[in-house]
Structure 1
Amino acid sequence: MPVRLCGASRDAVALSTACAYVGPRSRYANPFTVGTRGPSLLGSPMAEAEVVDLFAATLRGPVGRCYADLFARALRGFDLMCTCPLDVPCHADVLLRLANESGDGNTICTRYLLEGPR
């Protein structure tokens, strides 16, 4: 089963046959960043888990589902590399589940259940 790796895009290039870079400045990058204000009413700075959950929730939305399907097909079977340390939540974990779990396409789950109504 593919795994998440920590490194920069140049590291992924060295492993190009088995690894895809999904970190900052890649087409698979998480558009939400740690420390930016969250979408809640209080707008407090988001932590790693919140940023990952928001990314997953976005992929569950009407537009995000199209991207989720494209990402799943493109990343299936690859190890995914991001700059996030391995001991913190990362959107690459969401992409790994999305690309490699069999199912009905509803395998994107979030910690805070932000995906809304189905």
Structure 2
Amino acid sequence: MGSPGTALHGGVLARGSLRQRAGRRLGALPGAGTVSPQRIQRRRTKGWRMPEDAVYVGRGTRWGNPYRVGYTQVRMPALDGSEWELEGRGGKTSGQRHPFHHPGGTFEKPIISLHQVEDATAEQCVELYRRLLASRTAMRLNARALAGTDLACWCPLDQPCHADVLIALANPPGERQGP
């Protein structure tokens, strides 16, 4: 679809690959300074347009965070003794204590612990996304294609966002941007 060098990206036909667009954005001209990638909040206000070289990384894209505030649940404390972990069992009521039957127990001597189940906060959803990326090598390697690119998401700029995780992963500190 489209002419050579075009790609469907975030629902918009964009010229060039991510790396080519990032190179143009970062000032591929000799002597041009580098610009750090940033997170951009998408808006629905009339007349607002996402910058041409920005990449949308919200839900529905390969970079979207599957953990949603208000839907994702965490249990406290975690089974490994840490402060919290993802509650993988669906259908639990947030704000209540639920029993967890540990697999090491028997029918006569069950091992049961009680855990508080709560809706995940924005910080917890971002941390869960960070853990997801850490467990998926291919996704981590593909994130390098976002190097030098502004990322757009719906999250307010004053709150944690998975786009910050992607920016940090794609642009490690000390690595020079651009040509």
Q: Normalising TM by the smaller chain, what interval?
A: 0.7 to 0.9
In the alignment, structure 1 residue 66 sits paired with structure 2 residue 138: yes
SS state at 1:44 partner:
strand
Amino acid in structure 1 at the alignment position of 2:131: A
Amino acid in structure 1 at the alignment position of 2:151: L
Aligned partners of 1:35 and 1:45 also within 8 Å: yes
Alignment of 1:88-103 (within 5 A): 88-102=159-173
Aligned to 2:67: 32
Gaps of at least 5 residues in structure 2 are 1-35, 75-85, 88-114, 175-179
Instruction: Give the TM-score, by structure 1 length.
Output: 0.73
- Whichever structure has more strand as a proportion of its residues is 2
In the alignment, structure 1 residue 23 sits paired with structure 2 residue 23: no
- Give the superposition deviation at 1:8: 5.1
Alpha-carbon distance in 2 for matches of 1:11, 1:46: 31
Larger Rg: 2
Amino acid in structure 2 at the alignment position of 1:21: Y
- Whichever structure has more helix as a proportion of its residues is 1
Instruction: Give the TM-score, by structure 2 length.
Output: 0.50
Runs of 4+ in structure 1 over 6 Å off: none
Aligned to 2:155: 84
Q: Deviations for 1:7-32, whole angstroms, at most 9, x for unmatched residues? A: 059943xx23x210001222210010
Q: Which moved more, 1:92-101 or 1:23-32?
A: 23-32
Gaps of at least 5 residues in structure 1 are 104-118
Amino acid in structure 2 at the alignment position of 1:71: A
Q: CA, structure 1 residues 53+77, in 2 after alignment: closer, same or farther (shift >3 Å)? A: same
Q: Which has the higher contact order (CA 8 A, sep 6+)?
A: 1
Aligned partners of 1:80 and 1:92 also within 8 Å: yes
- Give the superposition deviation at 1:43: 2.9
Aligned to 1:106: none
Q: How many residues were matched structurally?
A: 97
Identical aligned pairs, as a percentage? 35
Aligned partners of 1:6 and 1:83 also within 8 Å: yes
